[in-house]
């Protein structure tokens, strides 16, 4: 018997992160009858500027808000919410310390804001990021810290750290070197992606939701154009790269064998 319907809150730094890292999980939870709420710390005001959009951060933030809502529709999320902080830019940018930037915000203030939403939604599960934020982006690291504290304040029963299997991406990168080199690869600087697989407690099969995950990525056209690394992959390679989503369940010991892994978050 499956779990009774509950509410999943997925906490992310910027619009488009949700589609890439947890899009399949959002769609799968929605398919199973769970309410899904996607919460963004920022509106991604310092992302790539789109031709035809006013060259201001506020205009880009407004545009990316619309993209987030369209992606949520593709995935089946019931609600999109924003905590109201400003994009902090990449590590070392002057924007890291600007007034209102998420990175420079008192983490307790941000956590209280997210905790209020968790309580209002009676969230059963929260996803945030691993301690590196996937690749050491300042806002992603802050999502980790704020998410953990908010879950504590709200008494959320289960918290998962969305992450990436480093070994998986090294393997597919070697296997599909030519294809993965096409399009505009994401810039993660010198930081390796994700964490070692031995730490990952939960391996979620999202192969049945990949069409919607791809559609959600495409909805974020300002940041993920058709020429991007993500959307230029063939269906078969896309399935191998993105057919699993990974989480570390807070409070659960690392698995001692593949049989000890969780396969779902509810």
The vertex-92 CA angle with 19 and 62, nearest 5°, equals 40
Structural class in CATH, domain 7-260:
alpha beta
What does the pLDDT average to over 10-17? Answer: 98
DSSP string, 174-236: HHTHHHHTSSB----TTPPPSB-GGG--EEEE-GGGHHHHHHHHHH-TTTS-TTBTTTTS-HH
Q: Residue 74 — φ and ψ, nearest 5°? A: -65, -35
Residue 95: helix, strand or coil by DSSP?
helix
Cβ–Cβ < 8 Å for 143, 12: yes
Domain ranges of the chain: 7-260
User: pLDDT per residue over 204-220, tens digit each?
Assistant: 999 999 999 999 999 99
Which of 244, 152, 155, 171 has its CA nearest to residue 203?
Answer: 244
pLDDT at residue 1, as a whole number:
47
The C-alpha atoms of residue 95 and residue 86 are separated, in whole angstroms, by 9
pLDDT at residue 174, as a whole number:
86
- 221-249 in b/e form (b: 16+ CB < 10 A) is bbbbbeebbbbbbeeeebebbbbbbbbbb
Confidence of residue 192 (pLDDT cuts 50, 70, 90): confident
Share of the chain above pLDDT 90, in %: 82
Rg (CA), the chain: 17
User: pLDDT per residue over 121-159, tens digit each?
Assistant: 999 999 999 999 998 999 999 999 999 999 999 999 999
pLDDT at 181 over 90: no
pLDDT at 185 over 80: no
Token pair for residue 29?
């939870």
Cβ–Cβ < 8 Å for 201, 175: no
Sign of CA dihedral 153, 158, 161, 162: negative
**Paired residues of 205 in beta bridges:** 244
* Residues in Cβ contact with 70 at an 8 Å cutoff, skipping those fewer than 6 apart: 219
What does the pLDDT average to over 233-253? Answer: 96
Q: How crowded is residue 183: how many other Cβ atoms within 10 Å of its Cβ?
A: 17
pLDDT at residue 56, as a whole number:
76
What does the pLDDT average to over 35-58? Answer: 85
Q: What mean pLDDT value characterizes the chain?
A: 92
pLDDT at 115 over 90: yes
The C-alpha atoms of residue 160 and residue 238 are separated, in whole angstroms, by 24
**Paired residues of 127 in beta bridges:** 10, 160
What does the pLDDT average to over 93-116? Answer: 96
Q: Residue 224 — φ and ψ, nearest 5°? A: -125, 75
pLDDT at residue 227, as a whole number:
86
What does the pLDDT average to over 217-227? Answer: 94
pLDDT at 243 over 90: yes
Cβ–Cβ < 8 Å for 202, 162: no
């Amino acid at each position: 018997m499956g779990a009774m319907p509950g509410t999943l809150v997925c906490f992310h730094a910027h619009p488009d992160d949700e589609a890439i890292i947890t899009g399949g999980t959002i769609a799968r939870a929605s398919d199973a009858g769970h309410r899904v709420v996607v919460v963004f710390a920022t509106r991604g005001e310092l992302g790539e500027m789109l031709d035809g959009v006013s060259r201001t951060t506020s205009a880009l933030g407004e545009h990316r808000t619309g993209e987030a809502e369209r992606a949520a529709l593709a995935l089946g999320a019931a609600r999109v919410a924003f905590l109201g902080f400003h994009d902090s830019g990449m590590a070392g940018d002057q924007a890291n310390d600007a007034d209102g930037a998420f990175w420079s915000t008192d983490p307790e203030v941000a956590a209280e804001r997210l905790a209020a939403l968790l309580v209002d939604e009676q969230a059963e599960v929260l996803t945030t990021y691993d301690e590196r934020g996937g690749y050491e982006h300042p806002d992603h690291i802050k999502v980790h810290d704020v998410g953990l504290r908010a879950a504590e304040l709200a008494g959320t029963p289960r918290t998962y750290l969305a992450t990436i299997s480093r070994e998986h991406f090294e393997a597919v990168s070697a296997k599909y070197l030519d294809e993965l080199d096409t399009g505009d690869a994401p810039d993660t600087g010198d930081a390796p992606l994700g964490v070692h697989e031995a730490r990952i407690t939960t391996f979620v099969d999202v192969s049945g939701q990949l069409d919607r995950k791809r559609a959600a990525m495409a909805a974020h056209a300002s940041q993920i154009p058709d020429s991007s690394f993500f959307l230029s992959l063939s269906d078969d390679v896309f399935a191998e790269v993105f057919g699993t989503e990974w989480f570390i369940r807070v409070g659960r010991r690392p698995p001692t064998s593949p049989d000890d892994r969780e396969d779902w978050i509810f």
